[in-house]
Structure 1
Amino acid sequence: MPKLTRRQLIILTLGGFLSYLLFGMFDSMRGATLSVLLTDLDLSYTAGGSVVMGQYAGYFAATLLVGILADRTGPKFTLVLAACSLIFGVAGYAASSGLLALIAFIFFIGIGLGSLELGGCNIIAAIYKEKKGRYLNILAAIAGCGAFVTPMIAGLFLDQGVSWRLIYRSGLLIAVPAAVYFVLLRWPASFRHAGNAKETSAPSPGSFREGATSARHPRRARSLAVLSMNLSNFAYMAAEIGTATWLVDFYCHVKHFSILEASTGLSLFYIGITLGRLCGSLFVDRAGHVRSILAASLLAAICILGGIAGPESLALLTSASGFCYSIIFPTSTAVISEISTGHTGRTLGIFLAFGGLGGMFGPWIVGIINDLAGLETGLAFNCLFCGAVFLLAATAGRLQMGTGDF
């Protein structure tokens, strides 16, 4: 592995952290403002789901196409593309009033978000080879910081009558300086093709089971395990985004919260994600990655059902699902990076692309169910996605281990 100076390590780490901070900010901004946007423009839940689908169509395109090129171009290209797409998309989205225009511009926001996530993930995966589960959970916690602060600030402004358009435009005050930082970022040439090399080292002990190395298992089992984790990420993103997108509407129209209280509930959801990832960074490598994913997906479903079916005093249990969701994505990222060999950028790009598809279809499906059967039924549908995460992660564990004991 090429060596970095301390200065290079700090600059690159800050670049990765900044990319995920932006990702958390603008991804949660959609959920915080969507309810007001739909009311302002007189759009249905299905139309709102189509807007969210537009964002994750862009996310999918970025993670798939940019991911394939990532090993050749390096993270700097990915981050510069991300910043330019994000700025263009936000400026256009904030000026739009028609459904088609909203979908078109949020598509570019999605390209920016997908590229930000891919670029930041590739940086951290390349420069921190040891304990990937820990560092990827910390990176994801940075996204959570942006994600829980944004809905609180947005809720305060919306409660005072400030337009959702101004909230989006204010985000450019951070996005533009970040774009300048990414342009000035220098990615060491010695790292550019690091993802193409075949990695022969064994995974960390916590990945599946102590002492189990991926070299002991057939290529077919490895490929099926990778596919299972990709599908698991699809289901996870469908569940998390399906929950976050409609949480404010659920609190406002079912639990009769004010817009400020509902936005605070969304902030609590992202606070749970942030705290969960910080806590997860301390135990996922020891507890085992697959075990951690199984427990988290099960607990998330329990929290969602408890918040929906329980009395109003327990409504915030739905927000607590964020704490349970928290470790699934970064821990799954650690799993996929350990069971695959070579072409790290491409592998992560495909993994994130599956997540993008989940982000596209999850909220859209929930939006349709909201219109047909009510917000409670729509939100509860996310529990089925959690069940899929559980089954697919368990399948990947069995394939990689060659045994049911993990």
Structure 2
Amino acid sequence: MKRTKWIAFLCFAFLMAGLGANDALRGIFAPVFQERYDLNGSQLSLIVTISYVGNLLFLSIGGKLLDLFPRKNVAVAVTAVWAGAVALNLVSDSYIWILVSMFFALGASTLLNTTVNILTPAVFAGYAGLMVNVLFFIQGIGTSGSQLLLGRYAFHYAGWKWINAALLAVAFLVIVLFFFLKIPKQGEEKEQEKEIFKKEPDSKIFWIFIAMMGCYFIGEHGIMNWLMSYCISAFSMEASSASASLSLFWGGMTAGRLMFAPVVQKMGAVKSMKLFGGIGTVMFCAGCILGESGVWVLGASGFALAILYPTMVLLIQQIYPVQTAATRTGVIISAATVADIVFNLLFGAVSSKWGYGSSFMILPVAMAVFYGLYLRLAGSLKRN
């Protein structure tokens, strides 16, 4: 790669690793917050819910900003917001400030994640499918690595401070790299010029995308946020064993994105999602239904599910015209985030009343619906 490509890769790689670790903090430190601030199930679920409200607001506004203003400027500004939220965790110590920091940190994190996915086809034209999954592989390293290390060696409030100090350093480095990054302006590339005349797909595809991604978010994010608490509360697992099963899921996500990135590039987004989505959904549902004996099957399902989210976002870029792709991406993901918000509110209430065993069954139902909707989407795209 050219020097400019390497700068872009390093910038995106550091950012994605940091975002991966940042997104894992809710699930890892939920038991720590519960003990330190004496939280009930509903108060604990509010930490997760407020972060998804942040996702919703940041994405609904951010997608439009990425189409209206230079994307590098937007990315730098949002990275600064993320850094400020992380810094807040270093200087505060209360449940209220945790809610405030989660709102801004996770909202900014999700928008940055989507921004990298939108910028990758422009910066790495010709091999976007490969690079998107490689970058999400790096994000997976941040997620699974932090889950394993923090679960084993820093499962306490001091560990919460340490990881936030590290994330602040990453944010500062990324901002510096952004100033040396060259990003083509909207409409500069030849491929983009051709896409000016691409028609908007019909509204049915738009709504299927929202419902499909909403169900997928419930499944994937439900594992990230609640698997550790589920294993500890429902099966009386040790924290180290619970974090290992969670780490297996994200380790599979990590390895799968690296290994299957060339497959996605060769097969294309639609066929790749049909193959890996089918295998991953079966494993995910089986792991949940089998209970304690299926925890490791559930963890291993991450290997098959690895390419789904980055490939879904890439598919949006391929379907919509370049001048509206970022806006559509933001609207679709932010609308799908409503499912996350409703799920976490429902999960907190159900787990408090009936326990984690019953409430966790929402996840396999959501994943089964996700795959059914994807098959319908693929059929609609083929007809169009």
TM-score (norm: length of structure 1)? 0.84
1:402 aligned partner: 383
CA-CA distance at 1:198 after TM superposition: 5.9
Q: Is the 8 A contact 1:29 1:154 kept in 2?
A: no
Alpha-carbon separation, structure 2, partners of 1:111 and 1:159:
24
Taking the aligned partners of 1:147 and 1:12, their CA distance within structure 2 comes to 21
Deviation at 1:146, TM superposition (A): 0.8
Letter in 1 for 2:154: L
Find the counterpart in structure 2 of residue 242 from structure 1.
222
CA separation of 1:181/1:235 partners in 2, compared to 1, >3 Å: closer, same or farther? Answer: same
Residue in 1 that maps onto 2:79: 83
Q: 2:60 aligns with which of 41, 59, 64?
A: 64
Partner secondary structure for residue 154 of structure 2: helix
Q: Is the 8 A contact 1:234 1:357 kept in 2?
A: yes
Alignment correspondent of 1:10: 6
1:267 has 2:241 as partner: no
CA RMSD, aligned part only? 2.9
Aligned match of 1:164: 160
1:335 is aligned to 315
Whichever residue aligns with residue 187 of structure 1, its letter is K
Cross-structure match for 2:145: 149
| Equivalence map 1:286-297=2 (5 Å) | 286-297=266-277
Q: Is the 8 A contact 1:239 1:383 kept in 2?
A: yes
Q: Is the 8 A contact 2:16 2:139 kept in 1?
A: yes
Relative to its length, the structure with more helix (as a share) is 2
Counterpart position of 1:283: 263
Q: Using the TM superposition, give the Cα deviation of residue 333 of structure 1 relative to its aligned residue in structure 2, in angstroms.
A: 1.5
Q: Which residue of the partner structure matches residue 330 of structure 2?
A: 349
1:77 alignment partner AA = N
User: Counterparts of 1:338 and 1:383 in 2: how far apart (Å)?
Assistant: 29
1:187 aligns with one of 182, 189, 192: 182
Q: Is 1:231 matched with 2:206? A: no
- In structure 2, relative to structure 1, the CA distance for the partners of 1:224 and 1:369 (3 Å cut) is same
Tell me the secondary structure at the aligned position of residue 51 of structure 2: helix
Q: Are residues 1:365 and 2:359 paired? A: no
Contact 1:236 1:358 in 2 (8 A): no
* Paired position in structure 1 for 2:232: 252
- Any stretches of 5+ residues in structure 2 without a counterpart? none
Contact 1:75 1:187 in 2 (8 A): no
Q: Could you list the per-position Cα deviations for residues 1-23 of structure 1 after superposition, in whole angstroms to 9, with x for gaps in the alignment?
A: xxxx9222221222222222221
Q: Corresponding residue for 1:205?
A: none
Shift of 1:234: 1.9
CA distance in 2, matches of 1:161, 1:9: 39
Equivalent residue letter for 1:261: S
Alignment correspondent of 1:207:
none
SS in 2 for 1:319: helix
Aligned partners of 1:197 and 1:347: how far apart in 2? 19
Residue 192 of structure 1 deviates from its aligned partner by: 4.1
Give 1:161 shift. Answer: 7.6
Query: Given that residues 158 and 260 in structure 1 are in contact (C-alpha distance below 8 angstroms), is that contact kept between their aligned partners in structure 2?
Result: no
Q: Deviations over 1:39-89 (max 9, x none)?
A: 221112222221112112222222221210112323322322232222221
1:174 lines up with 2:170 in the alignment: yes
Aligned AA (2:241): E
Q: Deviations over 1:316-349 (max 9, x none)?
A: 2222232232111111122211111132322322
Deviates more, 1:297-306 or 1:15-24: 297-306
Instruction: Give yes or no for contact 2:288–2:361 (8 Å, CA) kept in 1.
Output: yes
The one-letter code of the counterpart of 1:374 is G
Partner of 2:119: 123
270-279 or 69-78: bigger deviation: 69-78
Counterpart contact for 1:307–1:318, Cα < 8 Å: yes
| Equivalent residue letter for 1:146 | G
Could you tell me the percent identity over the aligned residues? 20
Equivalent in the alignment of 1:386:
367
SS of the residue 2:139 aligns to: helix
Moved more, 307-316 or 344-353: 307-316
Q: Which residue of 2 aligns with 1:209?
A: none
2:25 match: 29
- Measured in 2, the distance between the counterparts of 1:39 and 1:116 equals 31
Q: Secondary structure at the match of 1:362?
A: helix
Whichever residue aligns with residue 367 of structure 1, its letter is G
The corresponding residue for 2:133 is 137
Q: Which amino acid aligns with 2:185?
A: F
| Bigger mean CA offset, 244-253 vs 81-90 | 81-90
Deviation at 1:96, TM superposition (A): 4.5
Tell me which of 42, 50, 53 is aligned to 1:54: 50
Alpha-carbon offset, residue 165 of structure 1 = 3.6
Cα distance in 2, alignment partners of residues 165 and 273 from structure 1: 26
Change (3 A) 1:114 1:313: closer
Task: Please name the residue that 1:92 is paired with.
Answer: 88
| Superposed displacement of residue 305, structure 1 | 4.0
How many Å separate the matches in 1 of 2:33 and 2:22? Answer: 15
Give how far 1:249 is off. Answer: 0.8
Q: Is the 8 A contact 1:60 1:354 kept in 2?
A: yes
In 2, Cα distance between equivalents of 1:61 and 1:311 = 35
What is the identity, as a one-letter code, of the residue corresponding to 2:21?
M
Deviation at 1:307, TM superposition (A): 3.3
Letter in 2 for 1:356: T
Query: Structure 2 length as normaliser, TM-score?
Result: 0.88
